[in-house]
């Protein structure tokens, strides 16, 4: 049983190894064309059996299936046997067929050999038959060629005699056709030049051509000679026309010499009439030259236009020669009389010449320009452009020098107008009118120069444009920018303040408050008036227009100028000048608004924040800032309505300047009290200005742990943040959403100010908790800012050092940062060791002139405080004017110079 299974498996494996190629499989399918699953190449016995017996019930007919299978197998075996038996006789049949094929090939070869031999015999017979015909055909060709040659020879012999006779009679109309034929025949006989008779005939033809050329040239000269009118042998116009046709047939030099002589004859009068020594030859009468040639061409075409063949282009040749002579003569006379040329005369001559050349381009096609031998005359495109005008190129510096002078005068005129010009009253005044005038003049010059030349003169014009763009910026725009008026001297203000003190001793508290107010105003930075701000905006809009127009001018110049100069056209320096003017104007507006807010910030430092008892509405300095913004910003916005991007830039720069100043001012405040420190001298002085007497302000002290000042500052800071967010649309009926970049700057800056105030409100004990809160509220802070905040809290110096050390331990990366000396000095003042030292309390930052002014204010306030006490002690005894004057002088001596 195992052997049978192994044999069955080996057979099964052997069958599975049979793999048929795709071609064999397709052939089998074409032959069998069976849909039986057993005939398919991918036959699977398991699937086939499962298909026959899908379930156990189907096994009931297994005997029928097996019987059917056995029947099919029997049929297949029968077919195989029949096929095998049929293949037994195949080899014998093949051999018989091969033998028959060989016999057929032998018979075919013998037939082909027979046909070939017969074809050779037929060819010999045909050659024998056609031998005489070929001889006759060759004789015919030779005879035809001989007859043609004899005819040509007869024509040549007879034509020579005929041509001699016709040429002697000057019958050029009858000469034309024979002459053409004889020239062609003579060319045919050049291959027989070794024959003496042919040589003789060729020499006669050459002689006839030479005699005709000489005769026609003489006839032309006789006809057009001034002394030939009485000559009886003078030719008619018809004969002259025929002679031109004959000259066209002759050699090219004949026609060329005739035209050269004739054109020189036509221009002989012009050369004599416009000789360089004649007055009419100068540039102011250059139009007479062109008028002369126009009249002459009209006269020539009327009289002789039908004489010359159209392909001779005699009128155009006369014009080209006229242009050549004119250019040479003008070059000579301009060189000799250069000093007499001014720009008007030069432009007149160039304009007249350009108009004439344009007329020639319309009248002629320019074919003779290409034939010209002179390199200066030859034009690649057959154009008359600059055919005469090229003589002016070497003298175009006269034109550019004139433009230089005109632009200089124009800028000076604009500068003079600048002194008298006022800004228009409308809200959006536009630009300065002379700015548009300048660029209109530039355009006129550029168009004019394009008509003259787009090469070196155009580049010289570009350099002039660059020069006077800078001149206009300096002399007209920058010179027009308003300057703020300098403030009055401190001495005069102090003098008026002392007079105020000595005039009314009955109301010393009111007088002292007014004196303090005057001293505060003394430190104000001079500001622009509303008209000055409108002027700055006027100049800014003009500079913007110039900037845009300069870019357009640069593009147009690069488009018009010659290719070799394109890379040299660069107006970037001039655009930078106008960029600088715009930036300067914006900076001036920002500084002006800064100056307005600076006084409010200074007033902010004079408030005794630590003594505030309740939190109410926003403080007075905030109201003052809002008032200044509402007065200034709408004026700038209305006058920059057409320059919105620069108005937005102004708002950006202002908040970038104001917010840091506001934060620095916060650092100088002392909004809280530690319970032991007293109010500073300056704060007490300002508090006394709003109290009933100086004595009451001097004795004011802060209460311990008061943070109401911080709450009030937080309220004021939020109010300022709201105002700054709406700054671009402040005072406007149309509310626009500010740009996202602007909003980001305001939110970030004012958020820092709020965080500073919140940090100040936090108690410093315990220190670890305070530092933790500090880092949470101000994560990007530094040791310097930490010092300033401790000073704001009036923390004692010892405690400051301890807190700083703790802060450094928490933030070791900040240990390398140095502590500024100003911070240490500020902490010393904030410790309250000397309550009477008003010169250092709340000291403003030493930057520019504001530090000096603030120091003078503080010193003056101290002097006034002491002087006020002296006046109160002596008020009852000093009633006469003389003694009052002495007291006033005493007070002045105590004040700083």
d(CA 473, CA 494): 42
List the one residue out of 256, 401, 261 whose CA is nearest residue 341: 401
Could you say which DSSP state residue 835 is in? T
Q: In this structure, what token pair is assigned to residue 37?
A: 């699953």
* pLDDT given for residue 813 in this prediction: 59
Dump pLDDT digits (tens) for 508-541: 334 444 444 444 444 456 778 888 888 888 899 9
Side-chain half-sphere exposure of 881, counting CA atoms within 13 A: 1
Quick check: 577 pLDDT over 80? yes
Alpha carbons 527 and 596: distance in angstroms, whole number? 7
pLDDT tens per residue across span 475-521: 988 888 887 665 444 433 444 444 434 444 334 334 444 444 444 44
- Whole-angstrom Cα distance, residue 294 to residue 288? 10
Q: How far apart are CA 857 and CA 521, in angstroms?
A: 9
pLDDT higher at 324 or 217: 324
Backbone angles phi, psi at 843, to 5 degrees: -70, 130
Mean pLDDT, rounded, for 275-283: 83
CA–CA dist 680, 668 (Å, integer): 12
pLDDT at 823 over 70: no
d(CA 381, CA 450): 20
pLDDT tens per residue across span 64-90: 888 888 898 898 888 888 877 777 777
The pLDDT value recorded for residue 856 is 42
**Which residue bears the tokens 């250069």?**
338
Enumerate residues 6+ apart whose C-beta is below 8 A from 273: 280, 292
Helical H runs in 766-835?
767-777, 783-792, 797-810, 821-830
Q: What is the pLDDT of residues 584-596, one digit of tens each?
A: 999 999 998 888 8
- Model confidence band, residue 657 (pLDDT cutoffs 50, 70, 90): very high
- What's the average model confidence in pLDDT over 790-812? 84
Residue 689: alpha-carbon gap to chain centroid: 62
Is pLDDT above 70 for 781?
Answer: yes
Contacts of 202 (CB under 8 A, 6+ apart): 186, 189, 190, 193
> Does residue 470 register a pLDDT over 90?
yes
Q: Say how far apart CA 753 and CA 749 lie, in whole Å.
A: 7
Domain 398-484+526-585 carries which CATH code? Answer: 1.10.357
Average pLDDT over residues 380-385: 64
> 743-747 contacts: CB < 8 A, separation 24 or more?
745/652, 745/655, 745/656, 745/659, 746/655, 746/659, 746/721, 747/721
The domain locations on the chain are 42-141, 251-387, 398-484+526-585, 607-672+705-754, 762-813
Q: Look at residue 822 and tell me whether its pLDDT is greater than 60.
A: no
User: Cα(626)–Cα(629) distance, rounded to whole angstroms?
Assistant: 5
Mean pLDDT check: name the lowest of 14-23, 220-229, 379-388, 881-890.
881-890
For residues 34 and 28, give the distance between their C-alpha atoms in angstroms, rounded to a whole number: 10
């Amino acid at each position: 049983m195992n052997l049978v299974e192994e044999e069955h498996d080996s057979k099964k494996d052997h069958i599975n190894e049979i793999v048929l190629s795709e071609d064999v499989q397709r052939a089998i399918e074409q032959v069998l064309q069976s849909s039986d699953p057993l005939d398919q190449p991918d036959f699977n016995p398991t699937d086939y059996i499962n298909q026959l017996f899908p379930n156990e019930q189907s096994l009931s007919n297994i005997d029928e299936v097996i019987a059917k299978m056995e029947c099919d197998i029997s049929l297949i075996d029968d077919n195989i046997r029949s096929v095998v038996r049929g293949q037994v006789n195949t080899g014998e049949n093949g051999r018989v067929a091969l033998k028959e094929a060989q016999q057929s090939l032998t018979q075919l070869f013998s037939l082909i050999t027979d046909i070939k031999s017969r074809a050779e015999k037929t060819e010999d017979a045909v050659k024998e038959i056609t031998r005489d015909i070929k001889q006759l055909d060759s004789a015919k060709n030779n005879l035809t060629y001989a007859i043609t040659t004899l005819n040509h020879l007869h024509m040549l012999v007879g034509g020579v005699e005929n041509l001699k006779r016709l040429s002697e009679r000057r019958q050029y109309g009858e000469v034309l056709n024979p002459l053409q034929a004889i020239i062609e025949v003579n060319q045919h006989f050049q291959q027989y030049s070794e024959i003496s008779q042919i040589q003789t005939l060729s020499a006669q033809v050459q002689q006839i051509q030479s005699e005709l050329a000489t005769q026609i040239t003489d006839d032309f000269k006789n006809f057009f000679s001034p002394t030939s009118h009485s000559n009886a042998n003078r030719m008619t116009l018809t004969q002259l026309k025929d002679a031109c046709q004959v000259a066209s047939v002759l050699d090219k030099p004949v026609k060329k010499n005739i035209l050269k002589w004739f054109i020189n004859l036509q221009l002989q009068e012009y050369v004599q009439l416009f000789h360089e020594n004649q007055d009419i030859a100068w540039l102011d009468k250059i139009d007479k030259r062109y008028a002369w040639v126009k009249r002459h061409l009209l006269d020539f075409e009327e009289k002789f236009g039908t004489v010359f063949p159209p392909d001779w282009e005699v009128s155009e040749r006369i014009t080209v020669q006229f242009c050549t002579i004119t250019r040479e003569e003008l070059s000579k006379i301009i060189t000799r009389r250069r000093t007499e040329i001014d720009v008007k005369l030069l432009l007149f001559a160039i304009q007249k010449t350009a108009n004439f050349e344009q007329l020639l381009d319309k009248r002629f096609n320019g074919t003779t320009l290409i034939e010209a031998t002179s390199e200066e005359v030859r034009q690649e495109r057959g154009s008359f452009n600059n055919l005469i005008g090229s003589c002016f190129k070497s003298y175009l510096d006269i034109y550019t020098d004139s433009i230089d002078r005109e632009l200089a005068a124009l800028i000076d005129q604009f500068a003079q107008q600048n002194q008298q010009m006022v800004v228009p009253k409308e809200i959006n005044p536009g630009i300065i009118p002379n700015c548009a005038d300048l660029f209109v003049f530039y355009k006129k010059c550029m168009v004019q120069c394009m008509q003259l030349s787009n090469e070196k003169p155009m580049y010289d014009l570009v350099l002039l444009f660059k020069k006077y763009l800078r001149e206009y910026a300096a002399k007209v725009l920058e010179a027009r920018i308003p300057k703020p008026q300098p403030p009055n001297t401190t001495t005069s203000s102090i003098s008026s303040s002392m007079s105020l003190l000595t005039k009314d001793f009955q109301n010393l508290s009111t007088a002292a408050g007014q004196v303090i107010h005057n001293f505060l105003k003394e430190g104000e930075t001079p500001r622009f008036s509303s008209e000055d701000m409108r002027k700055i905006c006027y100049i800014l809009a003009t500079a913007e227009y110039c900037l845009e127009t300069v870019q357009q001018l640069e593009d147009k110049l690069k488009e018009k100028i010659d290719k070799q100069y394109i890379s040299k056209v660069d107006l970037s320096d001039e655009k930078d000048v106008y960029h600088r003017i715009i930036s300067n104007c914006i900076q001036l507006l920002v500084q002006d608004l800064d100056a307005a807010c600076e006084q409010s910030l200074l007033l902010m430092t004079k408030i005794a924040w630590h003594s505030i008892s309740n939190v109410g509405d926003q403080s007075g300095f905030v109201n003052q800032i809002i008032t200044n913004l509402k007065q200034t910003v709408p004026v700038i916005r209305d006058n920059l309505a057409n320059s919105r991007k620069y108005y937005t830039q102004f708002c950006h720069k202002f908040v970038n300047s104001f917010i840091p100043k506001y934060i620095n001012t916060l650092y100088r405040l002392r909004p809280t009290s530690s319970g032991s420190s007293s109010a500073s001298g300056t704060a007490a002085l300002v508090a006394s200005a709003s109290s009933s007497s100086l004595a009451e302000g001097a004795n004011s002290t802060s209460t311990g742990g008061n943070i109401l000042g911080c709450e009030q500052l937080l309220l004021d800071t939020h109010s300022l943040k709201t105002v700054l967010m709406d700054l671009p649309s402040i005072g406007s009926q149309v509310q626009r959403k500010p740009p996202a970049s602007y909003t980001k700057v305001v939110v970030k800056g004012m958020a820092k100010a709020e965080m500073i105030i919140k940090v100040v409100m936090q108690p410093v004990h315990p220190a670890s908790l305070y530092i933790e809160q500090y880092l949470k509220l101000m994560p990007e802070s530094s040791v310097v800012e930490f010092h300033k905040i401790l000073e704001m809290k009036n923390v004692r110096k010892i405690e400051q050092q301890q807190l700083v050390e703790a802060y450094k331990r928490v933030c070791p990366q900040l240990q390398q940062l140095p502590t500024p000396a100003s911070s240490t000095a500020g902490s010393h003042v904030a410790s309250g060791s000397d309550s009477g030292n008003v010169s250092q309390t709340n000291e403003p930052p030493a930057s520019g002139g504001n530090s000096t002014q603030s120091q003078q204010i503080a010193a003056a306030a101290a002097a006034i405080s002491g002087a006020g006490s002296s006046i109160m002690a002596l008020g009852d005894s000093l009633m006469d004017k003389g003694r009052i004057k002495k007291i006033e002088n005493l007070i002045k001596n105590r004040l700083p110079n």
